């Protein structure tokens, strides 16, 4: 055991558009829509629903050429990734490298709001795209 992982920061779901999605997540389930935000660097818009000490995050591509747009075209809507909030992303990446885990980002990349993020390759994580996220 280590103290590097604090919690599931969010579970991300890729969707084609927000209007149809809101009718389920917000209106039917009754989750609170905290805010939406465009992330130009990733060519997506995201919507956040706080749930306990995690969030459900909807992602929609803002054009047809982004990575997320291609994922959506190939696989359809559904779960996209799970983000684990870590206390020290550099220490966690060192640990994963020592275990020969395949990393999409061997070094952290800047995320929204000055946060740091790094993706683990699904090949090393039972087909799951795992994001490490340092707040």
With binding defined as CB under 8 A, does residue 32 bind a copy of itself?
yes
Minimum distance of a copy of itself from residue 92's CB (angstroms)? 8
At 18, phi and psi to the nearest 5? -85, -35
Considering only residues 37 through 56, tell me which ones interact with a copy of itself, judged by CB under 8 A: 51-54, 56
Least distance from C-beta 64 to a copy of itself, angstroms? 19
- For the chain, the C-alpha Rg in angstroms (whole number) is 15
Q: Minimum Å distance from CB 123 to a copy of itself?
A: 10
Residue 114 Ramachandran class (φ > 0 left, ψ -120 to 50 alpha, else beta): left
Q: How far apart are CA 16 and CA 56, in angstroms?
A: 16
Q: Is 128 in the site for a copy of itself (CB under 8 A)?
A: yes
Q: Which stretch binds a copy of itself (CB under 8 A): 22-30, 36-44, 62-70, 111-119?
A: 22-30
State the number of binding residues for a copy of itself (CB under 8 A): 45
By CB under 8 A, tell whether 24 contacts a copy of itself. yes
Q: For a copy of itself, which residue of 45, 104, 115, 122 counts as binding (CB under 8 A)?
A: 122
- Other beta carbons within 10 angstroms of residue 118's beta carbon come to 23
**All residues at 6 or more sequence positions from 49 whose CB lies less than 8 Å from its CB, including other chains:** 25, 26, 31, 32, 33, 34, 55, 56, 57, 58
CB 54 within 8 A of CB 9: yes
Q: Contacts with a copy of itself in 74-113 (CB under 8 A)?
A: 76-79, 82, 84-85, 92, 95-96, 99, 101
């Amino acid at each position: 055991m280590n103290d590097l992982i604090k919690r599931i920061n969010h579970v991300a779901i890729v969707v084609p558009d927000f209007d149809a999605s809101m009718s389920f997540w917000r209106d039917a389930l009754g989750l609170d829509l905290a805010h939406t935000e465009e992330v130009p660097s990733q060519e997506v818009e995201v919507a956040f629903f706080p749930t306990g000490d995690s969030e459900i995050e909807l992602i929609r591509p803002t054009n047809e050429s982004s990575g997320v747009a291609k994922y959506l075209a190939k696989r359809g809507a559904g779960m996209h990734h799970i983000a684990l909030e870590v206390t020290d992303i550099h220490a966690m990446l060192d640990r994963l490298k020592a275990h020969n885990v395949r990393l999409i980002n061997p070094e952290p990349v800047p995320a929204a709001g000055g946060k740091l993020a790094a993706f683990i390759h699904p090949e090393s994580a039972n087909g799951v795209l795992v994001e490490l996220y340092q707040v």
